[in-house]
Structure 1
């Protein structure tokens, strides 16, 4: 695959875009050294000591990844590269390839202070927050100039790959699997916003949603996460960071960050799930490049909604189910944050949407839709067969795209 450390960022005012390559992603240039509400560590030493993570020696990870061989690369970007490796399940020492526990090792580029801050923020949050829909951080390495993070391996890669990569390895996710992934990701965000965590994720997008072998979604990459507001404040004031196309309009305009900023980002991702289109796609015709602007007029119309749905899942959903999902998107994308639901409400809406397929009403509605539109094929539930192939088509916690405003 070549040297992953040749990836560079190019700027497009007012935000930064990353290199367009197979796994390339983008990062911003500023982050507060924030900490979790759980124990509020502040110094680097306190964060590392309170993380309850395994501290790996560099040589251990070098051996586990077969000397960071190019054919072990799972992903790459502004942070650095992610490598596949193996460790013993009990001792966490390096194991032979194909034995023990599979891990994903993210290695920091030896450039700049920003990467170190995000590396530390990742340890700060994932070292203390535990939830089925958050990726598990196994440990880290801090040795001389080396900065690495060790995660559980996610065999089905990222949601981004399944939605947008045209490859025999990544078959299109079925409607039911898309809704399952959306629900899992929503539960992860709801936990982060809960009183137990009080964290604003700030970089919710398809590349940061990883999928395990059972299609359970887990959030990864907490380098841009921030503590939520405290002392009765309504927001956190911070430099605008995140990813172009996902950031909430009020956050972009003012730098005022709230949990509702994440809700807006969730609405964008759910729209990507429905349409199979990227939030921003410069390769599309003018007027269609910004997904939210293009799709919004269609979302509330029974006649038009199917025109924006991903054609690869045609025949797998009822009109009622699509309209419910589209209504949720509209609510999440409300321009004023006070009109957006909270993530617990989003979770409930998605759970109700999943329950619909168990009712006879959905089945009769599907039959009715077929009669009214003969061009639609028979309604059926598709199962998506996705192959995991020698580590090259899978993914892992990866470095996020982090544009900067100003």
Structure 2
């Protein structure tokens, strides 16, 4: 009777063995779970890009043009070189994402922007109301649309949130394979449109991408074929950790070579122990700017047309370093003459691009990119040449007779 009444239980050794086995199984399964989650995030990112592609095509169907990269309002009484923020106009700072808002189910946000807006971001009343198309993007956190986070414009794999970029984006317009004028930010500030439209015909030879600053392009301009030309590229937003992909340093700190002559002019500034980060002691563009200038980093303002915020170039391969040309004697922050802003992402091994036909492709970091140290096309010395950046550069040009015959994707 006593033996039958004895309670059956695990010994301490048996319990420890079971716990150890469970721990081993969790350790084996956790990477697989994380990989599955990243795969889901990557698919969601691709779907967002497809929505943007549909938005571009629907916009083109409505207007026979692509939305313009760098558009908005201007008042000539402010002069050619506006260096201050404005409550009244936006100095043509708006990008293509603003244009496609009604075509990506963001009609309400679009209405807030294109109409007089009497509300501040905190819900208080503004008198007089904000003008249509709003103020300058930079420096106006009290204008609600500029700090609104649009889910379609964000990649789920990017953890960037909050200050200093309250309304971020992970998708930028492809500006081609040259950061020289007219894609350079300095040229964009000049309101003299004849410099683009006729005064400098050689400068038009630098606008080789699907999007060109201050000019509205169309599918008919993409002579290489929509399936052979990148329309947009993915970009990574800054986390304040000196990641070379997300924040530039001035080319003078990374090396003596001018960015105008060599896209690798900042490479000497890489940390030799952690090449994805800038070396200790180098000051990034964001660190060199007080207040709002700290947003001089990738993807910090979804509506801003500056290349650092919503532009990509097919010069250096995906996930390469960003670099800006900014001599110490000139203005800082968004007034840099040139910025080399590559495609980048938080996905492993590459980044998404949106082709002009609406297809989304994943481009690996190892794509053939030609001679990365070759000087980009320059309006004063080199126009109408074949892209020196191999297949990658050819994908970024729209009318250079550089079709891609092989299946690279």
* Shared fold, TM over 0.5: no
TM-score, scaled relative to structure 1: 0.26
Structure label with greater radius of gyration: 2
Q: Which has the higher contact order (CA 8 A, sep 6+)?
A: 1
TM-score, scaled relative to structure 2: 0.26
